[in-house]
Structure 1
Amino acid sequence: MDLFGRLRRDADTEWQAYTGHAFVRRMGDGTLPEASFRHYLVQDYLFLIHFARAYALAVYKGRSLGEMRAAHEGLKAILDMEMNLHVKLAGDWGVSAAELEAAPESRATMAYTRFVLEAGLRGDLLDLHVALSPCVIGYAEIGEALARVQEGEGNPYRVWIDEYTGEPYRAVAASARDNLDRLAARALTEVRYPDLLTLFRQACRLEADFWQMGLTLAD
């Protein structure tokens, strides 16, 4: 079992609360209110700005060109793939990229993004990538699950689902998973594992809080 699989297994309660959240389920069956999705998408755009900074931090912390390039691929995926999707969807509502960037951050956005950045600043690359992994790898798994249950061609969230089930994003998630194992081969010990599991559990809880923020339109 690879490191991500072990973390997911040992944090099953938090993982299921995140990946099986009502927000996710309602995207899959197309019943999520549009206002909830819009609120989520704006906050996710702000979230991605900070996650791009986290990957830039990973580039700085890389001890080899290989580690730096792996982090750079994550940074490119955010700036050139995910954020473009958000701009496209928001543009369909008449909202510009500048308006997205100027939106106020919700408390859930601030809590999650600062948690990840602090994990990276305080710890090493393994700490940082474990904190990032529920998002980058989890979205691919969520997208795959929703693709199996979405209700026909009329699902209003099909574009989002297709983005995270597409080959480009699946390659990003697979690369992130492999990178965790490369980092673990050098830096993981059994004494350290409980601390990484704590990071992973907290990130999953913050992911669930982020979905809840979208569902309830919280500020």
Structure 2
Amino acid sequence: MTFTETLRKENQDVYEAIFNHSFVQGIGKGSVPKEALAHYIKADYEYLNAFMYIYGIAISKSNNRDDISFFNNQIDFVLNSEIHPHNNFCEQIGVGYAELQGYPLPPTADHYVKHMMYHAHMGSLGEVIAALLPCPWTYLEIGQELMKTYQPDEDHPFYPWISFYADERVAETTMKMRYMLDKLAADASPAELEKIKSAFRKSCQLELSFWEMAFTSEVWPVGDYVKV
């Protein structure tokens, strides 16, 4: 069993909770509250901006051109391709994509971004990948699970979203990141492996919390922040 296979097995409980979350199941059933979709897009737009920055930090920690090229391509993917599932949600609520950009991160998304930034700035490349990997990996499996369970056709309101994340491109990204992490883990110390496992587990937990944040339209308890 590879290192990432072990990670996946150890986090089966979180993956199951994600698959069964009301927001995720609502995508499969074709029915998610409009306010939840809008809240998701507002947060995910800023989250993905941070994701691209962290890919940039991963480039700075890479020691070969293949890895640099991969992370560079991933920035392009997020910037130019991952807008399509967002647009699918926007179409369902009748709101323009630009109208949902530039909002402060809700508490859970803010915590998630800072968790990844911490490992990006303070940790090894293995920690960076471990913190990033649950995002594409859980979305890939969500897409696959929803395809299998609900068998949506092109008339399904969220078919573009589901098919996007079940696509081979997301699978290739996940496998490449897993391969990179497996290689790094093979040379890591026991202490480093624990940091990698912790980063991965927390990101899995925060993926679950992100869905809950969107579904409940989570906000800061006393406003976002005060501009000065």
TM-score with structure 2 length normalisation?
0.86
Mapped pair 1:118 → 2:118: yes
Shifted more, 33-42 versus 129-138: the winner is 33-42
Shifted more, 6-15 versus 201-210: the winner is 6-15
Amino acid at match of 1:208: L
**What's the CA shift for 1:23?**
1.6
Q: Is the 8 A contact 1:11 1:197 kept in 2?
A: no
Supply the RMSD in Å over aligned alpha carbons: 2.0
Instruction: Name the residue aligned to 1:141.
Output: 141
Q: C-alpha distance in 2, partners of 1:87/1:29?
A: 19
Instruction: Name the residue aligned to 2:42.
Output: 42
Instruction: Name the residue aligned to 1:204.
Output: 204
Q: C-alpha distance in 2, partners of 1:152/1:192?
A: 42
Distance 1:217 1:15, change over 3 A: same
Q: Is the 8 A contact 2:140 2:166 kept in 1?
A: yes
Q: Is the helix fraction higher in 1 or 2?
A: 1
**What's the CA shift for 1:91?**
6.1
Distance 1:84 1:29, change over 3 A: closer
Q: C-alpha distance in 2, partners of 1:9/1:144?
A: 17
**What's the CA shift for 1:101?**
2.8
Instruction: Name the residue aligned to 1:171.
Output: 172
Distance 1:178 1:196, change over 3 A: same
Amino acid at match of 2:183: R
Q: Is the 8 A contact 1:54 1:120 kept in 2?
A: yes
Alignment of 1:1-150 (within 5 A): 1-87=1-87, 89-90=89-90, 93-97=94-98, 99-150=99-150
**What's the CA shift for 1:170?**
2.2
Q: C-alpha distance in 2, partners of 1:22/1:189?
A: 39
Amino acid at match of 2:41: L
**What's the CA shift for 1:34?**
2.8
Q: Is the 8 A contact 1:50 1:113 kept in 2?
A: yes
TM-score with structure 1 length normalisation?
0.89
Distance 1:16 1:34, change over 3 A: same
Q: Is the 8 A contact 1:55 1:71 kept in 2?
A: yes
Counterpart secondary structure, 2:78: helix
**What's the CA shift for 1:189?**
3.3
**What's the CA shift for 1:35?**
2.4
Percent of aligned pairs with the same residue? 27
- Structure 2 unaligned runs (5+)? 220-228
For 1:70-109, what per-residue CA distance to the aligned partner results, in whole angstroms no more than 9, with x for missing partners? 2222222211211344246436724243x33322221111
Distance 1:33 1:150, change over 3 A: farther
Instruction: Name the residue aligned to 1:180.
Output: 181
Distance 1:88 1:11, change over 3 A: closer
**What's the CA shift for 1:218?**
1.2
Distance 1:152 1:66, change over 3 A: closer
Amino acid at match of 1:207: E
